[in-house]
Structure 1
């Protein structure tokens, strides 16, 4: 029990430092883009981001998780998987080049065609380091991983600023070029830094990798339907409501999910290889899962609930008054963000148990539910209706996920609720403090900057002090 906690803590320490830097830079990136772009242009950014996410899934082919889960891989097998990634990257680049006019026509946005072709260059370079990245995760080399990702993010962010501010480059082109820099640089650095431990041989033996393909195919399909389920709202909004509506929705989605998608991997990225080592001990897995959930809740709940309290200040202050329509959508999507935090760790358990097929079947069912519900919602042409529909289906998905874990590892719902109760209460109290303080300060003066600073500062200190008090009471109870 203590061993699995210490492994999670050790990996999370190094991952969290890198994640903090990367998250701040990404938030800064979207603030810059939000101020430099119209809602329609930001909608195009959202669609390009969705495209690169799907393309990455096909390049990986689900083999990364197989490498981490199966510790006995030979050099011959790893080399074969490396060259498969390279060949898939070339194939994806060609497909994106050919499909760009079709995608642009689907979204009735001709400008997308050239951007997609430019973006496809990523897949000629990024796959070089993909295998090395997963081997680092398997070896729990999170300090090195964190350094590489931080360096790549800082340089790509600097490039984005330089292109927009100094060369007056079109913001969309600047974003695409910065993404090419980010993924390519990470790929090259992963490969170079892991060369002392492993370098690929010139071998391509498909038969020797059957066990990886059998695991990887379900992981590929699972990730594909999972990502499709996560992005079907973008696809449907862009097609049926338009790029301007997609821009508003995409901005909100980024604000809500950047903390979730960046903070969750601090734990889940570490947890998967750690859980894989104890995959046959359900009691240990349950303990690790509850501990992981508690850590995620303690960090994510105050951020998301606090964001709800000050949403009407954050949007106009950072992105401009032209984004006012995004405020109610943001407050609704906070619920989705919280549920995403709590649902995300499921995958670490399922994959650690070697049940990639279950993950695929589950995600397929969720995809069908999401797609049908959101397809009906976009017919209203109202973003609020789409957001509330997303919330409703996410709640059903969350409930089903808890039931699945009770059967898979014997998760006790009473213990699970107990783990979540304290972070939720503490975050709720601090968020109420932020909300009341914000309203009082706005009524006295209309300085948004100082209102936000004091609201966040005092509510943050309140949360921290409440946490320390409850921690001392908890420790005192253990020793009595």
Structure 2
């Protein structure tokens, strides 16, 4: 009876969290669709190529943002107070370093792609990191407490503001800067909402007590997330280098128009699932039930969305985005279908993090990234469509194998009555 009650409570919380975040993403998606249509009609493929490289660089730097956050969410109650104080100061060190590294990376990127137009936008976006340490711990605690309605509110307010600003600037003729300038609005909104919704404040005295514990847990997550970002952007980097910015722009449009909705769903699932799994981590039987129940929920949501979007692509792309993007339709369909297996692999990775097996997640990501990179380098010789086909094949074949193995490893190696270490 107690187990069933706990199961219902956790399952209900997961669905509620997905509801909050899913609702936020739905609202944002409506505004983002208008933004995507506006940009598709006002910008050309070269502009899209530039935007792709700028946002990829920012995406890579953002890899480091969630590692300390994950430790606060996962840690036992008795350690939270101390770890929060340490995390606050570690965040300052981390985000200042990220700001410097992103600005420094702009110059070799300009040399690599032989285009100096990427330098100033990359440095401008990097400024946003300097606000994050002020509210990062509060955001982590809100997630730990499963109050994801606050996260949803933040996402909605940020999304609406950024999309409206982008549309206005695009119509005013700001070009690629219509995408870049609104980044200056995002983090102030995030900071205000987090500070208003959590009472935690840092100690005045500097402390790094137990920093090794935070760093030890976080380092594998950072590497795993970096490899995730690398895989997510390898195709862009390779297409941009070997085929040029115009082909990259075509590919980038197809990716965003095709995988945008699916990736939004994926982000909702990931944000909801980790605290959901961590809440059940002390009881392996309950964790098993929670995990496989979550996989069923993911399947019911993701599979129909991906199939529907893929099948409708030939109809909605020319109508909504314009005739000039018709060559992107086959690329869009292939990339969209690759989303089918991604949420399940993400769930498997989060399961490994929940039970302190981040090294295994790291090892898998190293192997998958290496195979993926080699496959793309071979495929690019036959053009951008071959790259998209390679993305589909590698994800559809390899990610389900990882998901199946992870479930057997975690739940097949211990008895149901085992209590997970805290």
TM-score strictly above 0.5: yes
Check whether the contact 1:218–1:357 (CA below 8 A) recurs between aligned residues: yes
- How far is 1:366 from its partner? 0.8
Over 3 Å counting, the alpha-carbon distance change for 1:127 and 1:172 in structure 2 is farther
On the 8 A contact 2:313/2:329 being kept in 1, the answer is: yes
Contact 2:102 2:126 survives alignment (8 Å): yes
- Residue 307 of structure 1, CA deviation: 1.6
Superposition pairs of residues 426-441 of structure 1, within 5 angstroms: none
Distance in 1 (alpha carbons) for counterparts of 2:196 and 2:202 = 12
Query: 1:350 & 1:109 partners in 2: Cα distance?
Result: 41
TM-score normalized by structure 1? 0.80
Q: Which residue of structure 2 lines up, in the alignment, with residue 10 of structure 1? A: 16
Equivalent residue runs for 1:394-413 within 5 Å: 394=395, 395-410=397-412
**Deviation, structure 1 residue 67:** 0.8
CA distance in 2, matches of 1:26, 1:325: 22
Give the aligned partner of residue 4 of structure 2: none
Residue matched to 1:49: 55
Q: Cα deviation per residue 1:263-313 (whole Å; 9 max; x = unaligned)?
A: 133333222112112224333223222222222222222222112222112
Post-superposition CA distance 1:36-78 (Å, at most 9, x none): 1111111222222211111112344x11111100033343431
Q: Is the 8 A contact 2:258 2:310 kept in 1?
A: no
State the partner residue of 2:167.
161
**Aligned partner (choices 61, 70, 76) of residue 71 of structure 1:** 76
Partner of 2:182, secondary structure, is helix
Aligned-pair Cα RMSD in Å:
1.9
- Partner of 1:102 in structure 2? 108
Closer, same or farther in 2 for the Cα pair 1:327/1:369, shift >3 Å? same
Q: 1:171 to 1:128 in 2, by over 3 A?
A: farther
1:240-251 equivalences under 5 Å are: 240-251=242-253
| Contact 2:83-2:210 at 8 Å conserved across structures | yes
Find the counterpart in structure 2 of residue 143 from structure 1: 149
Q: Deviations over 1:156-183 (max 9, x none)?
A: 2221122222xx2422111011123223
Match of 1:258 among 257, 260, 284: 260
SS in 1 for 2:331: helix
Alpha-carbon deviation of 1:262? 1.7
Paired position in structure 2 for 1:219:
221
- The equivalent of 2:420 in structure 1 is none
Q: What SS is found at the alignment partner of 2:281?
A: coil
Match of 2:86 among 80, 88, 91: 80
Equivalent-residue separation in structure 1 for 2:403 and 2:129 (angstroms): 34
Indicate the SS of the match to 1:111: helix
Partner of 2:27: 21
Aligned mates of 2:205, 2:224 — CA distance in 1: 28
CA contact (8 A) 1:282 1:410 kept: no
SS at match of 1:407: helix
With normalisation by structure 2, the TM-score equals 0.90
Measured after TM superposition, the shift of residue 329 of structure 1 is: 0.7
Report what 1:176 is aligned to: 180
SS in 1 for 2:193: helix
Contact 1:8/1:267 (<8 A) preserved: no
Distance between the aligned counterparts of 2:279 and 2:408, measured in 1?
20
Give CA-to-partner distance per residue, 1:320-359, whole Å, 9 cap, x none: 1111110111111122111223322222211111212111
1:132-190 CA distance string (max 9 Å, x none): 2111110011112211221121112221122222xx24221110111232234213432
List runs of 5+ in structure 1 lacking aligned partners.
Answer: 412-480
Q: Deviations over 1:92-128 (max 9, x none)?
A: 2222223312111212222111211221111122343
Give me the whole-angstrom Cα distance separating, in 2, the residues matched to 1:58 and 1:6. 31
Separation in 2, partners of 1:269, 1:97: 28
| Counterpart contact for 1:128–1:188, Cα < 8 Å | no
After superposition, the Cα gap between the structure-2 partners of 1:208 and 1:282, relative to the gap in structure 1 and judged at 3 Å, is: closer
Equivalent residue runs for 1:221-240 within 5 Å: 221-240=223-242
Distance 1:84 1:400 in 2: 33
- Unpaired runs of 5+ residues, structure 2, are 1-6, 414-422
Q: Is the 8 A contact 2:57 2:102 kept in 1?
A: no
Alignment check: 8 A CA contact 1:260 1:340 kept? no
Describe the SS at the equivalent of 1:115: helix
Question: Which residue is equivalent to 1:365?
Answer: 367
How far residue 393 of structure 1 moved from its aligned partner, in angstroms, is: 1.5
The count of residues paired between Structure 1 and Structure 2 equals 405
| Structure 2 CA distance for aligned equivalents of residues 347 and 27 of structure 1 | 30
Aligned to 2:124: 118
